[in-house]
Amino acid sequence: MKLEEIKNISVLGAGIMGHGIAQSFLMGGYPVMLYDIQQTILDNAKAHIEKNLGLFSQSDLIKKQDIELSLQRLSTTVDLRHAVEESDFIVEAVPEDLSLKQDLFEQVESFCRKDAIIASNTSSLTMGEIGMRVKKRERLVVTHWFNPPHIVPTVEVVKSMWTSEETLNTAYKLLEKIKKMPVKIRQELPGFIVNRIQMALAREVLDLYEKGVASAEDIDKAVKGSIGFRLASIGPLLTMDLGGVKLWLAVFENLLPQIQSSTEPPKALQQLVSQGHDGVKSGKGFYDYTVDFSQAGLDKAIQKRDQEFLNRLKSLYWE
């Protein structure tokens, strides 16, 4: 299917990722059918989308009248056939459970158009596994969004063993059209690109923390104000070119034997989890959230994070 043929979008699963993915397509001008297993979940998702459209408008990323126009383009349903029968591009964002996704993909194919593209937002499964029971597999593709998906620009578009070039290109162009920053990944490797890089960074961060080299606040501050500051504007490879490739080689030779290379999950995380801690969800992680551990307090923290992200988004590339 070509980009011009895509008129209707469906998003399956209206949780953390699904409602934000739906919002991105709505802001991009597409009608979206949002599907979940309970109407209350859909009503909640709609309320979140409305609130988040408000934040986009307050940040001048969309016009005030676009809030209402976007909401008018949104439909919700608990009927899967109704959710996908008119759709040209279907994004699955249900829980990360292989058999659930396999069942859903099989059912979706029985209800949707024969040429509709079906994308999965899976973080860790392969389309090779998810799409096993689908008959027309060249229309399957992974589009991996990042939380919060209505704000974070990059979407990894992954070519599975079955994805056709046309499907890959259409998914890529569609995401570009709605002002996301898609990247094509030509092999379905675990963790795609971003999670692999993120894990490599996190392994060293947690090792430094475990060794007591610096406090959690100082480690976060060091990353935020240096590599984080730089990487928000230029990528790591351009950073190497600008700093000098010879210098990078010398630093690698000196530091590589000194830094963490374990294949075990970091002890600092294992310890927190075994003590029943889960970050903001439980009130304690690397920081203590028990001072204001109300839903209102958490909502405020997320709103502050999103406002900072929106300011960044605006300065990055929004027209």
Ligand X SMILES: NC(=O)c1ccc[n+]([C@@H]2O[C@H](COP(=O)([O-])OP(=O)(O)OC[C@H]3O[C@@H](n4cnc5c(N)ncnc54)[C@H](O)[C@@H]3O)[C@@H](O)[C@H]2O)c1
Q: Which of 182, 175, 128 is nearest to 154 (CA)?
A: 182
CB of 101 to ligand X, least distance (A): 7
Question: For residues 313 and 153, is the Cβ–Cβ distance under 8 A?
Answer: yes
Strand partners, 121: none
What CA–CA distance (Å, rounded) separates 32 from 72?
10
Nearer to ligand X, 40 or 263 (CB): 40
In this structure, the number of other CB atoms found within 10 A of the CB of residue 312 comes to: 14
CB of 316 to ligand X, least distance (A): 20
Binding site for ligand X (CB under 6 A): 12-18, 35-37, 41, 93-96, 100, 104, 121-123, 145, 147
Nearest residue to ligand X, scored by beta-carbon proximity: 15
CB of 99 to ligand X, least distance (A): 11
CB of 17 to ligand X, least distance (A): 3
Nearer to ligand X, 71 or 194 (CB): 194
CB of 80 to ligand X, least distance (A): 7
Nearer to ligand X, 93 or 168 (CB): 93
| Ramachandran region, residue 140 (left: φ > 0; alpha: ψ -120 to 50; beta: rest) | beta
Nearer to ligand X, 15 or 283 (CB): 15
Nearer to ligand X, 37 or 213 (CB): 37
> Which stretches of the chain are DSSP H helices?
16-27, 39-58, 64-72, 80-84, 98-111, 127-130, 165-177, 194-210, 216-224, 227-231, 236-243, 245-255, 267-274, 295-316
